[in-house]
Each structure stands twice: as C-alpha cells, then as structure tokens.
A and B are shown apart, each in its own frame.
Chain A
Amino acid sequence: MFEKTLAELAQGLNNGDYSSVELTDAYLNRIKAEDGQYNSYITVTEEQALAQAKAADETRAAGNAGPFTGLPIAHKDIFCTEGVRTSCGSRMLDNFISPYNATVIEKFNQAGAVSLGKTNMDEFAMGSSNESSFYGAVKNPWNTECVPGGSSGGSAAAVAARLAPAATGTDTGGSIRQPAALCGITGLKPTYGRVSRFGMIAFASSLDQGGPMTRSAEDAAMMMNVMGGFDGRDSTSLQMDSEDYCADLSKPLDGLKIGLPKEYFSDDLNPAIAQQVQAAIKEYEALGATTQEISLPNTALAVPAYYIIAPAEASSNLSRFDGVRYGYRCESPVDLEDLYKRSRGEGFGAEVKRRIMVGTYALSEGFYDAYYKKAQQIRRLIKQDFVDALSQVDVIMGPTTPHPAFKIGEKTSDPIDMYMEDIFTLSLNLAGLPGMSVPCGQTNGLPVGLQIIGNYFAERQLLNVAHRFQQATDWHHLSPVSAGK
C-alpha cells in the first residue's frame, strides 16, 4: 500500500480495495512508528485526518466522489490551516493556531483530500538543508546522516520515506525542486501566479510559489488540478482558465527540442551528477527528442541578485512578527523597544536574522540603487536569457543540484556555500518560469535529480516530458524503504 502512487491509491479507493479511513489509519500508524528517525512532520493531525477520511468515505458511498476524494496527503507547515498550529518552522509561530485556511488548503479540503499533518521545513522557508527549523533537522530517508534539502525538506522526506503519498511544498529559490532531487521524488514549481499565495506565509512575495511534491509526474498533475487556478484574494494570481494538467501526460515526445545550457554543464559540475543527467538526456533522445547547446549568459549573476531581492522582500514581510498581536512574545518586556527587540531576537533563528539584516541593509537609504535596483536589473537580464533560449527550444534540461545530498552540519558554518546549492534552481524564480525535478539516477546510494525548465504556463508540457521519461525508466520507483535503508 505504501509503495502506491496517488493515482494507484485513487484506483484502489474506487475499486473498494480499502476505505479512506483504512488508508489514512495505515499512514497515521506508519508515521507514528517511523517518523522518529526522519522528523519529517511538525504536527500530525490524527483526529482531523480521520474525520476527513470518514467524510470522504461517506461522499464516496453517496456516489459523489471526485478524483481526489479520500486521498491522504501532507502539507508544508507554511500553509495556514484553520484550527491547526501553523509554525512555518519557527519558534515565532510555535503558538500560532491559524484562524483561517490558505487557498491551497481550502482547495484540497473541497476536493475531499485528507490532511495527515504539517511537514517540517527550514524556518520561514529560508534554507537549503532543512537544518534551520525550530523543530530540528529533517533526515534524508536514503541516508539519515544526510540532509533532505530544503526548504520543503519535511515534505520531500515524508514522500520519500512513504509517510505520505504526496505533499505540498513551496519554492522561492528551489525549495521544491532541490529537496525533491535530494530525496529522489518528483517536484514541480509552477509558473509564478499559478498557485494562490493566499495563506501561504510569505518569504519573498515576488518569488514564492506553491507546488506539488510527489512520487510521479502523473501524481503532480493530479495535485495541480486541485492546487492551481485563479484566486481573487491573491493580486499576483494568474487570471487564466483552469486547465486539466493530466490532459497531455502521454503525448509522444517526437521532435521535442531540448536545450542544454553550457553554463549548467561546466567542468566544476560533480562528475557523478553530470553522468546521470547525461544518461537521462540520452534516454530522451531515444524517446525522439533532439538536443542542442544553448547559453544562459547571466547564470553567474543569479545567486547574488537572488540574495539581494529575496532578503529585501523578506525583511519587510517578516516585520509583522513583532510580538504585538500573535506569535512569540518575550517575557516581561519593560517597554515597546524591549518588546520588539527581544521578541524578534528570541523568536527568530540565526538564518532568518541573517537574511533580515541583509535585506534591511540592501534597502537602506544610500544603498538602494546599488543593491536592490541593480539586482532588479539583473533579474530582467536573467529573464531575457530564458525568453531568448525558449524561443529556440521547447524545454531546457540540466542538473537540479550541483551535488547529491550532503551531510547534516557540513555547510551550516558557511552560508555562501549553502546558498550555492540553489545555483541551478533560483534563476527560475527570478524569471517566474516553471520547472520540475525528476529522479534520474543515483550516486553512492543517493538520488540525483534532472531539472526540466519550460516556458511560462507550460506546466502541461513539463508534466508530459517528465511522465514519458518515467514511463521509460524506473528511477522514480526506487524506494529507500524497499531498498532497506
């Protein structure tokens, strides 16, 4: 049962092989038994999950079941969930019980999905290793001495360890794709604006985007059919008709033009990663695709530009956590300034404070033009690079990450080294483009991810490209559980 994909579980529910209550109960028991070694959940919502499962079974009995009715999933603890602690991985919100549902949560509730609980994450989604969480590091199910990636590390580990069939994540600079790659699962960051940000606690508003983290491209498409769509409560939400993300999954890939950016395949790239990615591209050629080298000349500027823009927005977005209305408040403040300083000083962790300071500095009078404005100019150049490239090819491929999963603690003392983990992923957030990571091999028992980048609104094409690969290969079926890890 735990090796089944969402699509297979939906079939099982339809066939009456098991009820949603049985399925949910099985997952809850498995989480109880196994999550001690991974720490992938912050909160398990057993009671609510069983109530939702019961309601789903009743809906099914009444003949009103939809494609998602009764399927259990997990949500990153960044999505506000009514009546449930929504911590964002921070001490700041350890006591925050959200009084409302994020649009994404609301949509899954309406679709009849069951929420198993809230998954661990880097504090306020700031990190690439899931080590900055107030609730402790998450362990990679393939090797518990290694990180699962971040910031959606809990969602990635839960799906990889078969503690949830699928999960939601968010991606500001690679936070869906990088952990998906390091944990050997499938992750999709949609075009900016596809998935509503309402109720998704903001890190960097112009970069944040929610998306699915699943066992397969087909499951990701099923998730997108629920998650995607215009939301009047998010002004940056795309006003487009909803579409069926499953519609193009099986299209043949004959004549697909794949661009390979020379900047992504430099001599510095980890040879094992390079080898697996090249092998995957060979597979695509066998499926009828052609490849050509392209250039994204401003790739090297992406990390510095990103680490101005994202912290600048974060420094402002996180100002609301002030100890006044909700969240952490320090003991016995003597005056207002003391309340602010100690509440924020004690409530935020080191990485969050570092980014608030960087962002505050970048927006300061006298520095704004040199940093923030310049970074926005670079952002336009990077976007133009992709627009130019995608006028020549259908999709762009490369490694999702420069390395496989690294050891817990290995990069915590060197933030810059950590930031470089997202070198291939964060350009897409700057450009607002959709991207996927699919498992494409292993090295030393650790998964390797292939990143597939598409044009704006080309999610269906990305899912098609990923699905055909998964029809032809078995990498996405590898399981740390059945591998005995």
Chain B
Amino acid sequence: MEWEAVIGLEIHAQLATKSKIFSGASTAFGAAPNTQACAVDLALPGTLPVFNGEALRMAVMFGVAIDAEIGRKSVFDRKNYFYPDLPKGYQTSQLFHPIVGPGHVDIELKDGTHKRIGVTRAHLEEDAGKSLHDQFPGMSGIDLNRAGTPLLEIVSEPDLRSAEEAVAYVKKLHAIVTTLGICDGDMSQGSFRCDCNVSVRPKGQEEFGTRTETKNINSFRFIEKAIKGEIERQIDLIEDGGRVEQATRLYDAEKDETRSMRSKEEANDYRYFPCPDLLPIVINDDYIDQVRDSLPELPDARHARFMEQFGLGDYDAGVLSAYRNLADYFETVAQVGGDAKLAANWVMGELSKFLNSNDLDIDDSPVKAEALGQLLLRLKDDTINGNAAKQVFEAMWNGEGDADQIIEAKGLKQVTDSGAIEAMVDEVIANATPQVEQYKAAEPEKRGKMLGFFMGQVMKASKGTANPGQVNKLLKGKLDALCD
C-alpha cells in the first residue's frame, strides 16, 4: 500500500526581548542558576504579572510578516498543571484568543515549485524553568532563569506531507523570525524549537490517521530524522497489524529514535481559564500599521532582489537571504567591494569555510564586512591576485590588520612590471631543460596542460605575487617560439 504522511508543526520561538514577558528580570542566556529570577518569576506570594509591550510588538511583527489576521483583542489564559520548574503552578498562555490568527508562508519544493503552508495561529506564552536531575544526588535542582522568557508558539496547519517539506517550512519560519529580529534563532540553546505532529494514512484517504507528537527537537537535521523515523515507525506498526497510539514522544538524537513520553490517558486536564491578573490586550489598526511600516525587508523579497539586482543564481540568493545578519553582511561586502558576484563567492566560500571550521556565527566573524569589501577591492584593482587574496584573508582573520597593511607587510603586491616577470620566466625556462624538451615533443593540443608546471615555477619564484595573466601570456609565447 502507498502511504502518505500528514505533518503539522508547533514551533516555539523565544522572543528577543531584553526582559521577561511578565517581569523585569533579564532574559540573557547562560547566567548562574536563579540569578535572573525575580520575585515574580519565583512566584512569591502576592506577586503579579505585568505584560511586556515589546513581546506584543514582536508577535504582531510576525503576524504581519505572514499576512495573518491580528487579534484586535487577545487574552491571556492560565494553563494549570503542577511541575517543579513551573513556579506558579500554571503557565500563562493564550488559548481562546491568540494574538496572531490564520496566516501562511510559502516554501519551495525540490522540483522548484512553491507550496503554501497554512499557519493556524501564533500565541504568546511564558517559558518554564529547567529541572536539573543529575547535579545533586537524590534531589533535583531547579533553575528559574528561563522561567517567564517570552515565547511565540507558531502552530501550522497539517499541510506538510514529508520530512523535507517540514524542514523547508521550519527553515522558512527561521529565516522570517531572524530577519524580523524577533528571535535569535539559536536552536542549540533552545531559542527556536519544534514539536512535530505526525500521522500516516493510505494515499487517497481523506481522514487523518492517529497522530503522535514529538517534542522539543532543536536542529533542522533532527527534525528531518525524527519525522522520517516516526513515519517509518507508524507505517511498520500498521503494516504489522498494530495501531498507532496517540501519545507524546521524545526524540533521542543519540539513538536517532523517538520514544513514548506519555499516552493520551496520562494527559493533564489543564483547566484553562482567562488570567484574572492580566487585562485583555486591545490593539487598533494604527498600531498594526505602525508595526507594518517598521518591518525590515523579508527573506522572500530579499531573495528576489538579490537575483534581480545582483544577478545571483536562485541558490546563492536563497542562502544569502535566509539570515538577516548574513544578508546584511553580504550586501555590505558587495557595496564596498563593488562586485556582488565576487562578494557572494567570498561570503559563501572562504568566509563560510572559516566560520564553519571555527564554529562561529556571522556576527562573531573577526573579519568585518567592510574589511572583506576592502580586500575584494584590492583583488578587483589588480593590486593582488586571487592566491594572495586568500593569504591576506587568513591574516585578517588572525587579526594581523586590514587588507592594505597585510599586503604591504607581507609584500604580496602583485608584480605587473613586465620586465621583472619576463626575467623570471626566462630563468624558469632556462633551468627546466627536461620539461622544455617534453613540451616541445608534445602534441600542440596537450601543451596547454603542460604549461601548469612552468606557471607554478614562476609563481613560486615571485612568491605568488606575479600577475598570473601576464605570466601565462609570456610563458606561452616564449615556449611556443621554442617549438617553431
């Protein structure tokens, strides 16, 4: 039988506010346990929440960006359950009247076509703290630094049909929230994490199968693997005569498998009701228009512009527009260096290579965009050649100065004095009798390849600074003259 997967995703994006959603405590990551938890976050008796307007602005930015209905009146509800890292015994969330209503995003499929994915809703809520089970023998530690961090939970329609589609959707949302600057998008720190609802059904059947929910997956790769694995597990189960149980599952990245966390029977009755400590959030069209006017250029628009304005290919434009900071970096390099294609090659090539091998983010690059642009200028105006440019880049990466300083210090300035180059060419030819003889003996069409040896010798003699075009031209002329 042919099976079809039905996938819906819930994404928790941590909003990049400075303080928490209902208190003034800092949201910065990585502080010592419980140093960023104030009386409100600790849920001391008598404390009350005060809503952070910045979280509202960010949620509305997202809603406008995905062309969604914005809730003119949204309401916070309490989701009641007991857990040690949930200090109030309830999570403040939005069930009945979310801030963002139905919207959509478009994803690109492998065959180049586009598919529209529905976003059911996005609502504001507070994060819980963390339980630490392995640090105190026989006890659990509670760290409430994260408690009260604002989250935007983005719920998709069950429109996705494969793990690849799901990842394309997640990447698109990731590009949107990072471009908007409302989420740092750091998946390893849990700033952007995903719950996957997966079911399978015989192809052609309209009714959905029983779904499972796999929680808190924190990388694009794990999302793809977890969904693939869960689809296979469900199909195998049904084909073996079993039934899928509605359950919450956990993805184990080490074993690359999902396992059951709790079944439907064990699920809580959350007793949602409107939070009486918070007033409904009422916003008007003016507010929404102001937010709309403040939006930066969105990834789809930037992608299209990169292709049109800079003549980049679809793939390059897509990669360079997916992250706002990367896109900004690229545009600065292109502007300073005066050549967008060259800039794209360097950002996606040499720069990415160095960032990846040092596990750094574009924001942390020791080579700033302006500096890289200056380097490309020197390449463009023939001050240095491509080979020297890579040496200069590495030196810049190591903090040895700007491009001009390094070119000067290392003597990498390209030699374009034809007399000097000719002298080096003559010397190489004079000292390579066997190779010259081989060259002469070769068929004329094979001689081109053999030129490489002589090129290498001349470049070596010039310590890489000779203009390769000039060297090539001179070598070819002199060697071919010997053949006559």
Interface residues of A (CB under 8 A from B): 79-80, 86, 88, 93, 96, 98-100, 102, 197-202, 204-206, 232-236, 312-313, 315-316, 318-322, 324-327, 336, 340, 360, 363-365, 368, 372
Contacts and interface: CB of A to CB of B under 8 A. Distances in A.
Given A236-B277, A316-B89, A319-B80, A360 B271 contact: yes
A363 B45 contact: no
11 contacts: A79-B46, A80-B45, A88-B45, A98-B46, A316-B273, A318-B89, A320-B43, A320-B89, A321-B45, A324-B84, A372-B273
Given A86-B45, A320-B45, A324-B84, 10 more contacts: A197-B48, A198-B48, A202-B45, A204-B276, A233-B50, A234-B50, A235-B51, A236-B276, A322-B89, A340-B82
Best-surrounded residue of A88, A199, A318, A360 (most CB of chain B within 10 A):
A199
Nearest to A88: B45
B300 to A, nearest CB: 38
Nearest to A339: B84
B45 A100 contact: no
Nearest to B89: A319
A378 B39 CA distance: 35
Given A316-B89, A320-B89, A322-B89, A199 B271 contact: no
B78 interface: yes
Contact of A319 (B39, B47, B82, B142): B82
B267 to A, nearest CB: 10
Interface in B19-78: 39, 42-51, 78
Nearest to A198: B48
B128 to A, nearest CB: 13
B79 to A, nearest CB: 10
Contact of B50 (A202, A235, A325): A235
B181 interface: no
A102 B89 contact: no
A93 B45 contact: yes
The 5 A-B residue pairs whose C-beta atoms are closest, nearest first, are A319-B89, A363-B271, A205-B276, A206-B276, A199-B46
B90 interface: yes
Best-surrounded residue of A199, A206, A320, A368 (most CB of chain B within 10 A):
A320
B80 to A, nearest CB: 5
Contacts of B89: 316, 318-320, 322
Contacts of A326: 42, 44-45
Contacts of A201: 45-46
A199 B47 contact: yes
Contacts of B78: 316
Q: DSSP class of B's interface residues: helix, strand, loop or mixed?
A: loop
B378 to A, nearest CB: 56
B88 interface: yes
Given A312-B273, A363-B273, A319 B46 contact: no
Given A319-B89, A320-B87, A320-B89, A235 B142 contact: no
Interface in B299-333: none
Nearest to A100: B39
Given A205-B276, A205-B277, A363-B271, A316 B90 contact: yes
A198 B47 contact: yes
A25 to B, nearest CB: 30
Contacts of B44: 80, 98-100, 326
A364 B273 CA distance: 10
B269 interface: yes
A320 B92 CA distance: 13
A171 to B, nearest CB: 16
B80 A234 contact: no
Contacts of B84: 322, 324, 336
Contacts of B47: 198-199
A227 to B, nearest CB: 15
B201 to A, nearest CB: 27
A324 B142 contact: yes
Nearest to A312: B273
B279 interface: yes
A431 to B, nearest CB: 15
Interface in B235-260: none
Contact of B279 (A102, A197, A235): A235
B90 A235 contact: no
B278 interface: yes
A313 B276 contact: yes
A98 B45 contact: yes
B88 A320 contact: yes
Best-surrounded residue of A232, A313, A319, A327 (most CB of chain B within 10 A):
A319
Nearest to A124: B45
Contacts of A236: 276-277, 279
Best-surrounded residue of B43, B90, B271 (most CB of chain A within 10 A):
B271
Contacts of A197: 46, 48
Nearest to B271: A363
A279 B429 CA distance: 128
A235 B273 contact: no
A321 B89 CA distance: 8
B42 A80 contact: no
B82 to A, nearest CB: 6
A88 B45 CA distance: 10
B76 to A, nearest CB: 10
A372 B96 CA distance: 15
Contacts of A88: 45
B403 to A, nearest CB: 53
Contact of B82 (A80, A322, A364): A322
B329 to A, nearest CB: 40
A237 to B, nearest CB: 9
A174 B78 CA distance: 26
Contacts of A322: 82, 84, 89
B50 A232 contact: yes
Nearest to A87: B45
A325 B87 contact: yes
A198 B272 CA distance: 23
B22 to A, nearest CB: 9
Nearest to B37: A325
Contacts of A93: 45
Interface in B269-293: 269, 271-273, 276-279
Contacts of A360: 271
Contact of A316 (B45, B50, B80, B278): B80
A127 to B, nearest CB: 18
Contacts of A96: 45
A377 to B, nearest CB: 14
B161 to A, nearest CB: 32
A364 B269 contact: yes
B273 to A, nearest CB: 5
A105 to B, nearest CB: 10
A80 B84 CA distance: 23
A312 to B, nearest CB: 6
A295 B42 CA distance: 47
A202 B278 CA distance: 13
Contact of B48 (A233, A312, A318, A325): A233
Contacts of B82: 319, 322, 340
Best-surrounded residue of A205, A324, A368 (most CB of chain B within 10 A):
A324
A102 B80 CA distance: 25
Nearest to B142: A324
Contact of B49 (A235, A312, A315): A235
Nearest to A313: B276
Contacts of B80: 315-316, 319, 363
